[in-house]
Amino acid sequence: MNFSKGLKPAYLATLVGSALTINPAVYAEEKTDIADEEDERVVVIGSRQAYQGNFEPLETPQSELEISSEILKNAGALDLSEALDLSSSVARQNNFGGLWNSFAVRGFVGDENLPSNYLVNGFNAGRGFGGSRDLSGIESIEVLKGPRAALFGRSEPGGTINLVTKRPTFETNGEFSFAAGSFDTYRLDADYTAPLSDSVAIRLVGYAKDAGSFRDTIESQAQGFSPSIAWAITDSSKLIYELEYSHQEVPFDRGVIAIDGVLGLIPESRFLGEPGDGPMEADVLGHQLEFQHDFNKDWSALLGFNYRDTSLEGAATETGFGDVVDGEINRFRRTRDYDAVYRVFRAEITGLFELGDLQHRVIIGMDSDKFENDQVFLRVRGDQFINVFNPVYGAYPLPTPGPNTDRVEIQESVGIFIQDQISLTDKLDIRLGLRYDDYKQQLNNRREDTLTRQTESRTSPQFGIVYESSDSLSVYAAYGENFRPLSGSDANGNGFEPNQSTSMEVGVKFALNNGDLFGTIALFKVEQENILVVDDPQAFTSAAIGEASSQGFELDLNGQIADGLDLWASYTYVDAQTENAFFDANFGFTVEAGSPLLNIPEHQLTLQLVNSSELDGKLFEYGAGILYVSERNGFFGTDFELPSYTVARAFANYQVSDSLSVRFEVDNLFDETYYVNSFADVWVQPGTPQNFNLIATYGF
């Protein structure tokens, strides 16, 4: 029996974003050999990702996709929605007027009344109201497909998105970049890292953006700052603190409408709200603290704490769900004052041991979190008509909204988990996982002066098997169960049973071109029950009666296909539909069993090719990419569809000198008119027309 599986030789480092994680125990043993070069100090501060352990891609019995900083840069991705377009398993959903990120993984999205949840360094971070997530300060993005509740706990059934942040290094370097683009868009980014001593290093990352838009009257501003500090307490222990601050001012924009079910009868630039409402304001203040200690080369512990405070407030005039009559549509005006606080604590131990002839790699831990969701929501209906063909803004005084929703919800949970990956032979592993969660919810309806409480407990198992037939090929299968607590209340003011799902997948992972090209092929099926549907739109209540399923095929392939030529390819076919019929009170009709889910394309494809060469002895990179999205349902329970689209982009980057590079990008190369998502036929988000961006970067 070969027990070397999973062990790392000295100086074989694991990439965590751009930071190299060096096992301090191994480093301590070998430190004297490199003392002359590194002055006997730790070279780089990294951090092991929580809940994931130490597994190579070929020995992981689930599909995963890492989007590196270089891939993000070449795709021109500046926010999370643009980044997730690189994974065909992820489909854009209704983005709440541009105020948050909403996405579906393998056909399923979370609560439509909250942003989609995502993790930052393993911490829950996406459930607040801090606006669309900018990628400043983000090193890489992990798309962890399939059920993850056995470790992560409350998560989405289709998969989990984890953002890995930029962290300090002990090498002094930095860069400034300035971008100017179409629609009067300007952006400044800064990134600087340096040691303060032999054991302490800092990193300062920030951005500021002032942007116009192809949408009439729409302008936005945003800025963010993400400093961090790392302390190598000893050769075996390190402490990392990160702060997250951002402020965004973005007008609420529901997009365009389809008139009698037909898109394109009004221009994609047409804004149907009221500029006099001003922008919505979204704020984030977050703190992360992590302590990692390596007992030896096989065992380590990780402790972490996260606190994130977010808010969203402002007013908006929005089109209603009525018809266009004589060119006019009625609207309503709403104000929102949302606040959310998320606190998370986690502790885990990972290690490797031998028992009999078997090798075990285990992750054991616990976590607790508390999510406070405070919403004050006012609304006024009435004669707020606008002519969609010839809008006149400010035609009447803005009406004052009246009471609609005033409540605070508190969700708390404590979970314990264990995962054991057992090497039965040199080639065959099985993975067993189990998590137990104790969950409680308190809902204080301040408008109705009612208080309800409920408690739940859930056990989430997982099973996986992987067979490595060679150093470049493995096959795997996985099964898991998942749960996600549901926010809000039913008509009686009570909370809901959690959303429950099961997932199965089988796949093949392979390496080509001497390991420079890596791919995954997967077949999956997900079944879900207790999905929220609207029960009373006036009282803002729901019912957990929906059932749905999705099944499909995925292919991810990325890496170097020839010297200087890199490929990124991702294709997904997914069939996602309802499994039962139910009455949707939001629109007043029955949704039949077999109805397609909202905004889920059957086919989605992302391709990107990048060539690196030299021009006058300097680095010259150029590349192009396409995104294809097939037709998809645009109004749940109806036959209204968003048309398919293909958008192309291209870029060129030239290293003018050792310090200066210049980059030119063009998006929507052929100026296609397209629509990225919708909630109904009166809330449809158009895509951006052809646009250009010029970026100058100075490094030091």
Largest CA distance in the chain: 83
Q: What tokens appear for 269 in the block?
A: 């630039």
The 10s digit of each residue's pLDDT in 25-52 is 333 333 334 334 444 444 445 566 777 7
The 10s digit of each residue's pLDDT in 201-260 is 999 999 999 999 999 999 999 999 999 999 999 999 999 999 999 999 999 999 999 999
Q: What tokens appear for 154 in the block?
A: 């409350």
H or E element, residue 73: helix 69-74
Average of per-residue pLDDT across 655-661: 96
- DSSP secondary structure, 324-338, as one string: -BTTEE-EEEEEEEE
At 122, is the secondary structure helix, strand, or coil?
coil
Neighbours of 40 (CB within 10 A): 12
- Domain with residue 674: its CATH number is 2.40.170.20
Which amino acid makes up residue 631? E
643 domain residue, yes or no: yes
Q: How many CA atoms lie within 13 A of 251 on its CB side?
A: 22
Confidence at residue 485, expressed as pLDDT on a 0 to 100 scale: 77
- Domain span holding position 645: 9-20+39-699
The 10s digit of each residue's pLDDT in 300-332 is 999 999 999 999 999 999 999 889 999 999 999
**Residue 624 burial (10 A CB sphere; 0-12, 13-18, 19+):** middle
29 domain residue, yes or no: no
695 domain residue, yes or no: yes
673 domain residue, yes or no: yes
Neighbours of 492 (CB within 10 A): 8
H or E element, residue 478: strand 473-484
521 with 554: CB under 8 angstroms? yes
Residues 318 and 206: their CA atoms lie apart, in Å, by 33
Residues 663 and 655: their CA atoms lie apart, in Å, by 9
Residues 130 and 249: their CA atoms lie apart, in Å, by 11
Residues 168 and 320: their CA atoms lie apart, in Å, by 49
25 domain residue, yes or no: no
**Structural domain total, the chain:** 1
The 10s digit of each residue's pLDDT in 180-201 is 999 999 999 999 999 999 999 9
25 with 51: CB under 8 angstroms? no
Query: Is the pLDDT reported for residue 539 higher than 80?
Result: no
The 10s digit of each residue's pLDDT in 572-612 is 999 999 999 988 877 788 889 999 999 999 999 999 999 99
192 domain residue, yes or no: yes
Query: Is the pLDDT reported for residue 83 higher than 60?
Result: yes
Instruction: Give φ, ψ of 59 to 5 degrees.
Output: -105, 15
pTM, two decimal places: 0.91
437 domain residue, yes or no: yes
26 domain residue, yes or no: no
Mean residue pLDDT of the chain comes to: 89
26 with 219: CB under 8 angstroms? no
Q: What tokens appear for 573 in the block?
A: 């076919």
